[in-house]
């Protein structure tokens, strides 16, 4: 998880895009097992949501986390990414 966090902290747009996509795929594959690791990179997702080029991709990743990882993940999302709002 730490390399993923470092990728999300990168200044390179392409690295950020790939890291955000990796988070989304991990959420789909791991589901609730990812919850224990979400705190490691949700703060970085929160900082990327302000970037106009990354906003849609970050929101998509957050929706996937919300859908696939269960209610504990939804609570973490609300705490760590306050601008994300679940539509359910």
For residue 76, pLDDT over 90 is answered with yes
Summarised one tens digit per residue, pLDDT across range 14-72 is 999 999 999 999 999 999 999 999 999 999 999 999 999 999 999 999 999 999 999 99
Distance between CA atoms of residues 67 and 16, nearest Å: 22
For residue 88, pLDDT over 60 is answered with no
If you write DSSP's letter for every residue of 31-59 in order, what string do you get?
GGGGHHHHHHHHHHHHHHTT-TTTHHHHH
Confidence band, pLDDT 50/70/90 cuts, at residue 87: low
* Per-residue exposure over 38-52, b if at least 16 CB sit within 10 Å of its own CB, e if not: beebbebbbebbeee
For the entire predicted model, the pTM comes to: 0.90
Instruction: Write down the pLDDT at residue 84.
Output: 85
């Amino acid at each position: 998880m730490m390399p993923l966090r470092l990728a999300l902290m990168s200044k390179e747009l392409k690295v950020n895009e790939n890291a955000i996509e990796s988070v989304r795929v991990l959420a789909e594959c791991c589901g609730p097992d990812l919850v224990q690791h979400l705190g490691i990179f949700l703060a970085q997702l929160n900082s990327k949501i302000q970037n106009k080029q990354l906003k849609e991709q970050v929101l998509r990743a957050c929706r996937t986390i919300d859908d696939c990882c269960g209610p504990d993940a939804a609570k973490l999302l609300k705490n760590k990414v306050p601008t994300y709002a679940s539509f359910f």
